[in-house]
Structure 1
Amino acid sequence: MFEKQQKSYTDLLGKTNRIVEGTTIKGDIISQADFRLDGELVGNFTTRGKIVIGPAGSVTGDIKCKSADIEGRFNGKIEVAEMLNVKSKAHILGEVITGKLSVEPGAEFSASCIMRTPQKQTPKPDEQHPG
């Protein structure tokens, strides 16, 4: 009668994981939901959602995400499928790959940057009808 169902990642959208200031994590984080980091991460981070690096937050490693707001420090390679917002107090060092980029005046942005438009998965004309 009462079945416990596992929540899919779509049920987790709107929920936010949080690492508070004063916490240091060494290792990789994989999350299906949004994430706010006010502590320190030394490692890689992957999410299908959004990451927010707060003013006290810092990441040293690689990030793959749907969207990102960075107000703290980031050093590494970040791949953002949609929008990357770099706030005025942010310090970005490394490599950035994003769909859209917003950098507020005052931000330190010392990174190579590649902007990519989202690609739709459509078959090439020669793959639709072989022969």
Structure 2
Amino acid sequence: MFNNSSKQEKIKSDVTTVIAEDASFSGDIVMEASLHVDGTIQGKIECRGDVTIGPNGKVGSEIKARNLYVSGSVEGHVSVDETLHIHDSGKVSGDADMATIIIEENGRLNGTTKMRKKESEADVTILNQKSN
């Protein structure tokens, strides 16, 4: 009689799994919900939700996610459905493809990028750019 599937979908997208700062994980992670990494992961991450790499977080492999927020470091190919946001302390070393990219002033991306269009035109934003 009542359809709870949309409510269950929202609950799945709001749930976040946390890899704590003192934790280390080796292996592949496949999940529906979001992931927050403050520790170290060696293995592929495939996440239908958002992935956040905290300032002390380190990931050494491929990441697939809806959105990716990097304050720590990532070494490997990154494939993001929507936005790749590299904060001022974030470092990504590897190729990246995404619809939108935001790199803050001291954030670093070492690799090639491929931008895809989503419903609206893809764009590049650099925050806090110093003028000469």
TM score, norm. by length of structure 2 = 0.81
After superposition, the C-alpha distances for 1:35-71 in whole angstroms (9 at most, x for unaligned) are 1000000000011100000000010000111001000
Could you say what secondary structure the match of 2:118 adopts? coil
Q: Considering fraction of residues, name the structure with more strand.
A: 1
Aligned to 1:67: 67
> What's the CA shift for 1:9?
4.5
> How far apart, in 2, do the equivalents of 1:70 and 1:18 lie?
15
**Count of equivalent residues:** 113
Could you say what secondary structure the match of 2:22 adopts? coil
> What's the CA shift for 1:8?
4.7
> How far apart, in 2, do the equivalents of 1:98 and 1:73 lie?
18
Aligned to 1:127: none
Report the RMSD for the aligned CA atoms in angstroms: 1.4
Give, as a single letter, the amino acid of the residue that structure 2 aligns with 1:55: P
> How far apart, in 1, do the equivalents of 2:87 and 2:54 lie?
10
> How far apart, in 2, do the equivalents of 1:87 and 1:10 lie?
27
Identity percentage of aligned residues: 26
Structure 1 segments, 4+ long, off by >4 Å, are: none
Q: Does 1:29 align with 2:29?
A: yes
> How far apart, in 2, do the equivalents of 1:86 and 1:108 lie?
7
Could you say what secondary structure the match of 2:94 adopts? strand
TM score, norm. by length of structure 1 = 0.82
> How far apart, in 1, do the equivalents of 2:92 and 2:32 lie?
24
